[in-house]
Chain A
Amino acid sequence: DGGITQSPKYLFRKEGQNVTLSCEQNLNHDAMYWYRQDPGQGLRLIYYSQIVNDFQKGDIAEGYSVSREKKESFPLTVTSAQKNPTAFYLCASSILYSGRDTGELFFGEGSRLTVL
């Protein structure tokens, strides 16, 4: 079945550690996104990518890094520079923007990161 796979579902990190969240999609989508969600909050964009080997910062990119070496994969690294990383992280994908017919975002199941 086509979809987006995120791993791990739950992750615990000690302060000062970098952690990497995996995101793989088999929907053949060009665009991929990482969002962060805090309790009672909407989704905030961390990074997005519209093509392999290219990505752009979103609204809250500080303390995060990404790569896009393959169309299917868009891993997110939460670095030790991120001061408050405990959150629910959502990876998403979509077709490239095509005006009013642009489709929706498809989401993975999310990864919940807790800093100990």
Chain B
Amino acid sequence: QKEVEQNSGPLSVPEGAIASLNCTYSDRGSQSFFWYRQYSGKSPELIMFIYSNGDKEDGRFTAQLNKASQYVSLLIRDSQPSDSATYLCAVISGTYKYIFGTGTRLKVLA
């Protein structure tokens, strides 16, 4: 069974700090990696996607991928209370299957 693992949290950071969210995956063949943000009671929304090793930056968000270590992370700079949500890591395994981690709950303290 292919898996995606995340620490469930909650991860608490003060406003303005950097939040670091981590994810490991078991399928070495995975090529596409996604971070979704999910507010309580709402559906997930895409924050970042990354395909290549290294860093990808988009505004306050940076995704980092290390395929050798099977590790993908999301950094949120200048964290805001509105960033408080559950962050889901997802990978594509095989030709159709998006596999999701259980999510990390982030709390940004004002």
Interface, chain A (partner B; CB < 8 A): 31, 33, 35, 40-43, 45, 48, 50, 56, 88, 90, 92, 94, 97, 99-105, 107-110, 112
Q: Return the contact of B31 from the options A33, A40, A99 (Cβ within 8 A).
A: A99
B22 → A minimal CB distance (Å):
15
| Bound complex: CA A43 to CA B38 (Å) | 11
Stretch from B13-21, B45-53, B56-64, B70-78 at the A interface:
B45-53
Most buried by B among A50, A56, A105: A105
Interface flags for B75-110 (1: CB within 8 Å of A; 0: not) read 000000000000010101001111011110000000
Interface, chain B (partner A; CB < 8 A): 4, 8, 31-32, 34, 41-46, 49, 51, 88, 90, 92, 95-98, 100-103
Known: A35-B100, A42-B103, A109-B42. 18 other contacts (CB 8 A): A33-B98, A40-B8, A42-B4, A43-B88, A45-B97, A48-B96, A90-B43, A101-B32, A102-B92, A104-B34, A104-B46, A105-B34, A105-B46, A107-B43, A107-B44, A107-B45, A109-B43, A112-B41
| Bound complex: CA A107 to CA B41 (Å) | 13
Could you tell me if B43 and A102 are in contact, using CB atoms closer than 8 angstroms?
no
Query: Please, which residues of chain A bring their CB within 8 A of the CB of B43?
Result: 90, 107-110
| Bound complex: CA A50 to CA B41 (Å) | 28
B87 → A minimal CB distance (Å):
11
Name which residue of chain B comes closest to A97, CB basis. B95
Name which residue of chain B comes closest to A110, CB basis. B43
Could you tell me if A42 and B102 are in contact, using CB atoms closer than 8 angstroms?
yes
A11 → B minimal CB distance (Å):
15
Could you tell me if A105 and B98 are in contact, using CB atoms closer than 8 angstroms?
yes
Query: Please, which residues of chain B bring their CB within 8 A of the CB of A109?
Result: 42-43
Q: Return the contact of B51 from the options A35, A50, A94, A101 (Cβ within 8 A).
A: A101
